[in-house]
Amino acid sequence: MISEILKNIDQKKDQRIEELKKERDERILVLKSQIKEKIARRSEEEIKALRKENSLQLTEFSQRKDTEINFLVQREKNKIIQVVWDRAKEKIDELPEKEFTGIINSFIRLVPKMEGTVLASKRTHPILKKNLKNPKLKIKEGLKEEGFIVEGKNLELNFTISETLEQMKEEYNPEIIKILFSD
């Protein structure tokens, strides 16, 4: 009888150990599953964060490069426009005497009645001597660029070809840009 009681106790003990082992294994499976889910969620969150960070960096990089490209394109456009104005100046400098005289005469009409000095280029000097009808203005040669400069007591007027073209450039550049670079 004691042996049966001991046997019964052993069976119950073995059965309880098996139940505990089974319960332990089930808990381990649940914990493993929970850990896998946590790892998967955390990995997914980290991947999303990395993707977002990469996307922001890519956007910033793209914007920087777009800005650099726009500056380069604008610089090249400005160079092209400058070539246009430089060629215009060359063409004016190479005009036949009659046409060049016409330009200088159009400038002369803009000179107000005043007292002072006119500094002229070598080519412009004889035109002014012949056509500028203001005895109070003394005409001197010595200007290195085509055209002339009128200097009075409180006033200086620049009628050089380069200055005139510079003023025209400010006024007409938008139209030239449209003509040269419109699609």
The 10s digit of each residue's pLDDT in 71-114 is 999 899 889 888 988 999 999 989 999 999 999 999 999 999 89
- Cβ 132 vs Cβ 139: under 8 Å: yes
Same domain, yes or no, for 49 and 90? yes
Q: Which amino acid is at 132?
A: L
Same domain, yes or no, for 84 and 17? yes
pLDDT over 70 percentage in the chain: 99
Report residue 69 as tokens: 């490209």
Closest CA to 162 of 143, 177, 179: 143
Q: How confident is the model at residue 64 (pLDDT cuts 50, 70, 90)?
A: very high
Exposure letters 54-71 (e unless 16+ CB within 10 A, then b): eeeeeeeeeeeeeeeeee
CA–CA separation, 119 and 151 (whole Å): 8
What mean pLDDT is reported for the chain? 90
What residues make up the domain containing 132? 97-181
pLDDT tens string 13-52: 888 888 888 988 899 888 898 999 998 899 899 999 999 9
Residue 157 predicted with pLDDT over 90? yes
Same domain, yes or no, for 77 and 111? no
CA–CA separation, 100 and 44 (whole Å): 78
CA–CA separation, 103 and 121 (whole Å): 14
* CATH number of the domain encompassing residue 135: 3.30.2320.30
Same domain, yes or no, for 10 and 65? yes
**Cβ-Cβ contacts under 8 Å for 169 (sequence gap 6 or more):** 81, 85
Same domain, yes or no, for 127 and 106? yes
Last residue of a domain, one of 94, 112, 134: 94
Q: Where are the alpha helices (DSSP H) in the chain?
A: 2-93, 97-108, 125-131, 161-181
Same domain, yes or no, for 88 and 34? yes
Report pTM.
Answer: 0.61
Same domain, yes or no, for 18 and 81? yes
Number of structural domains (the chain) is: 2
Same domain, yes or no, for 68 and 108? no
Q: How confident is the model at residue 138 (pLDDT cuts 50, 70, 90)?
A: very high
SS3 98: helix
Same domain, yes or no, for 37 and 105? no
Closest CA to 119 of 164, 149, 147: 149
Same domain, yes or no, for 80 and 147? no
Report residue 147 as tokens: 């055209």
Same domain, yes or no, for 83 and 110? no
Same domain, yes or no, for 89 and 101? no
